[in-house]
Structure 1
């Protein structure tokens, strides 16, 4: 009886698919890869927007610091009151350094013993009532009232002068935050143009232009303001003050629901995230657009 020949390896393979069938398989693979890549892109975008919190970045003198919108808004108020009082930027640096050490520039309703507010001032030490200290305008003016009583504060060591004003139990701690104070003061008083930008969520609600104008008058002493059609327009007497107003508008954009701040041809656009200020020439007219 003849022996049956075992099939060779080549014979045992399945029939090779046709060229057309191979092409169809390639197309299917490419479609699946494209769908997976698209899903990954949208997933990464969702993760980025959901994880990355709103942030403000301030750059001056080669230094960069980041703060959240609440800190930045409070810092803008502190700097604005120095501008209103025609104090030198050094006064704002001292105040902002102190506020960062005492409260991380937050209007705290608690603290050591009876300490409260931005500067952790104590009613028992004569800074005002609890209600007054929690009013950030009152608290900041009280700090400046005490500061200007010390001659030579403009050139004094920051730890020394902050301690004289605050009478803190940890006087050396102020020195650790002088860098943040300098960056904030230089930018928010208008001496470092285009130094502040914020990445914020989309606007949910916005305030009336008259509210912004009222706050500009109270905090920075700016009264030459035009309002209407969701806009606040300020024509400043000089470029430094114009940048102070522009940075104030960006710093408080979260509170007011501002979508755009323009100074001359330069624009901060809320919808453009981290892009910062556009190129162009800056004049002395600042427009804050709301909603």
Structure 2
């Protein structure tokens, strides 16, 4: 059969090409710096100090990564980081979804007051010193749980999940109650299965926050065996930058040919070491990510 070709308006066609070019440019702006970081991480530090290393290592080496893993503390730190990320994300999702489902109930006594008090904490905080004193009174200092307990609930994520729950038809809950389901059975069998998109988004954000956090380890934990990987690398980079063997110019790089690791190359290796593992999580939640983010944002 003869098919008529749809005539495309030249203006629309030009606009579409422009949009594609803008998207490609934005992708390059994001991708090229990442390639540069990887190239510097695998390049000899003294050679990189001369400049000219862009998207491919000029003198390939693994010395930067050997320096990162040299003393073995990074391995223990990885265990702490993985443990806090897994445990913290799971407990946070459990507490957040339970609290959101409770706040969704219109017959909850003092629902508006509780919501107002929770929202109030988004605008005002006690500050670092009162927080430190509170953690001390709760015996959280120098403890693994200082990474988990204070971050169990994020008000932003709580309101986001509650908004998602409110979009689920009440008829489903009523049907579950008629079938004899109680509060927890309805929560587990009805609300959670229907909330996979928003749970995936909140879980990903929470996991990234746990993985990237270095502040709690640096200020609330003195035991180096309990430091997460971000804190260990932060301390490592601080020492490297204060080292007298620091290569800061081309002249120094030429004068210190034996120095293959600099603070800049160590930084790039640290970025790769800390970023790649959490990036591996994204493909598993990608199918839920866009939908969950949009639902939680638009209906809020």
- TM-score, L = length of structure 2: 0.24
Q: Flag the structure with higher helix content.
A: 2
Q: Flag the structure with higher strand content.
A: 1
Which protein has the larger Cα radius of gyration, Structure 1 or Structure 2? 1
- TM-score, L = length of structure 1: 0.24
